[in-house]
Amino acid sequence: MKKKWIAVMLAICVAAITGCGSKTVKTGNKQLEEAVYNDDSISLAEYTGLGAEKKIYKVTEEAVAGAVQEQLEEYAEYKTVARASKTGDNVYVDYTAKAGGKVLDQEENYYFTLGDEEFGAAFDEQLTGVSKGEQLQFSLEFDQDFGNDAFAGQTVVFEITVGKIETEILPEMTSEFLKQNFGYDTYDQFRASVQTQVEQEYEAESTDQLQEDLLKQVIDASSVLQYTQEEYDEAAETVDSFYAEYAEMFGQDMETIYDTFEVTEESLEEEIMDELYRRIVVDAIIKNEQLTLNDEEYESGIAYYMEQNEYTSREEFVNDYGEDEIQERLLEDKVLQLLEQSAKVTQIEADYEG
Q: Give residue 281's pLDDT band: very low, low, confident or very high (50, 70, 90).
A: very high
Q: What is the reported pLDDT for 5? A: 40
How many whole angstroms separate alpha carbon 177 and alpha carbon 193?
Answer: 16
Amino acid at 207: T
Residue 334 has pLDDT above 80, yes or no: yes
Q: What is the pTM of this model?
A: 0.78
Span 4-58, pLDDT tens digits: 444 444 444 444 444 444 699 999 999 999 999 999 999 999 999 999 999 999 9
**Arithmetic mean of pLDDT, 304-323:** 94
Expressed in percent and rounded to 5, the helix, strand and coil fractions of the chain are 50, 20, 30
Residue 123 has pLDDT above 60, yes or no: yes
- Among the residue ranges 4-18, 108-122, 148-162, the one predicted with the least confidence is 4-18
Contacts of 291 (CB under 8 A, 6+ apart): 285, 331, 334, 335, 338
**Arithmetic mean of pLDDT, 115-125:** 95
Q: Is the dihedral angle over the CA atoms 331, 336, 337, 341 positive or is it negative?
A: positive
Pairing label, strands 344-350, 77-81: unpaired
Q: What is the DSSP string of 34-71?
A: T-SEE-SSEEEPP-SS-EEEEEEE---HHHHHHHHHHH
Q: What is the reported pLDDT for 6? A: 45
Share of the chain above pLDDT 70, in %: 94
Mean pLDDT of the chain: 92
How many whole angstroms separate alpha carbon 226 and alpha carbon 24?
Answer: 7
How many whole angstroms separate alpha carbon 339 and alpha carbon 8?
Answer: 37
125 vs 260: which has the higher pLDDT: 125
**Arithmetic mean of pLDDT, 248-262:** 83
Residue 181 has pLDDT above 70, yes or no: yes
Share of the chain above pLDDT 90, in %: 85
Q: What is the reported pLDDT for 238? A: 93
- Nearest to 76, CA basis, from 167, 200, 178: 167
